[in-house]
Amino acid sequence: MIARRTALGTMAGALAGLAMPAAAAPHAPRKLPRLREGDTVGLVAPATALTLPDELDRAEYWMRGMGLVPKRGAHVTEQDGYLAGTDEARAADLNAMFADPDVRAIFAIRGGWGGARILPLLDWATIRANPKLLVGYSDTSALHLAFAARAGFPTIHGPNAASRWEKASWESLWHLGFAGVAPVLGGEAVEVETMRAGRTITAGTARGRLLGGNLTILSTLLGTPWVPDFDGAILFVEDVNEAIYRVDRMLQQLKLAGILDHAAGVVFGQCTHCNPDDPESVGFTLDDVIDHHLRPLGIPAFTGGNIGHVRNQLCLPHGATVELDAEARTLRLLEPIVA
């Protein structure tokens, strides 16, 4: 667990080891307001209802530990079936946070399912006019992808507010959202019991817009207007609790949709609890399936690293331009996303 004082004390040393780009990436998206101690941040529940014990309290605890002031969405404690209120209520909270001039960033409290249901209800004109950091992962991938398609500014694929904000998570958020630097993300091993080791599939470097997120959410949005252009992108995916044959099916869907063939590079992060013992998955390992789909592309690609449903997951600048180094297994941001 990282208290704000302890975390902030590590920043000077962490910054000293960062590699900075020589020049900014061309056609960079709009920059966002950087976070500062004392800023108000919105807490929203765009998907599944908050039913876990102390979930909202934990989210507020982490925000205060970062030196931020949490502000709850008006409907975050509501429940409609398995959702955190009606679609209209969940969309209204997100719209209100973007319209509120006192709110500097917005964190999803948890994932689950339901973010895709509110996409047509969001006030995209207000969102575009008020760029702010949006942070979350898992089902929040639906929002990240839609924002990359519609909003014109990057978001942060990282822990939800109620997740465990440990060292790698907090420091990568601090670099991206507070310090306004362009860090190198990944490369170092982080000891997490559920994490698969990193592995280079095809060596090389590539530059492109970083897009992706949860594999299940991405695959379900294909064919809709909420998916950004992946031509020349650096694609990253992760997932949890999926049988290997279903991962195979979703990667094939990306292939048939042209996503894989048009990507400049690919990172397959963690697939946590993707069970090789499932009777429908016997015959191929997860590495077999990943290799089947990524190795023939002939583009820089690697797997592993702390991206996904694991502790100490990295915050990633979704929608920003990065350089992938498959041999080092790193992503280097080419220009800060905040000003």
Catalytic residue among 175, 309, 318, 323: 309
**Contact status, residue 243 vs residue 170, Cβ threshold 8 Å:** no
Q: Which CATH class is domain 4-166+175-179?
A: alpha beta
Binning pLDDT at 50, 70 and 90, where does residue 286 land? very high
With 50 as the cut, is the pLDDT of residue 141 above it?
yes
d(CA 92, CA 123): 9
**Contact status, residue 321 vs residue 210, Cβ threshold 8 Å:** yes
Mean pLDDT confidence for 116-141: 98
Q: Does 4-166+175-179 match 184-333 in CATH topology?
A: no
For residue 88, indicate whether it is catalytic: no
Question: For residue 322, what is the enclosing H or E element?
Answer: strand 321-325
Catalytic residue among 55, 60, 75, 138: 138
Binning pLDDT at 50, 70 and 90, where does residue 191 land? low
| pTM over cut 0.85 | yes
Fold of 184-333: Glucose Oxidase; domain 1 (3.50.30)
Catalytic residue among 238, 242, 318, 323: 238
Domain boundaries, the chain: 4-166+175-179, 184-333
For residue 219, indicate whether it is catalytic: no
For the chain, give the mean pLDDT: 91
For residue 238, indicate whether it is catalytic: yes
282 CB-contact burial (10 Å; exposed 0-12 / middle 13-18 / buried 19+):
exposed
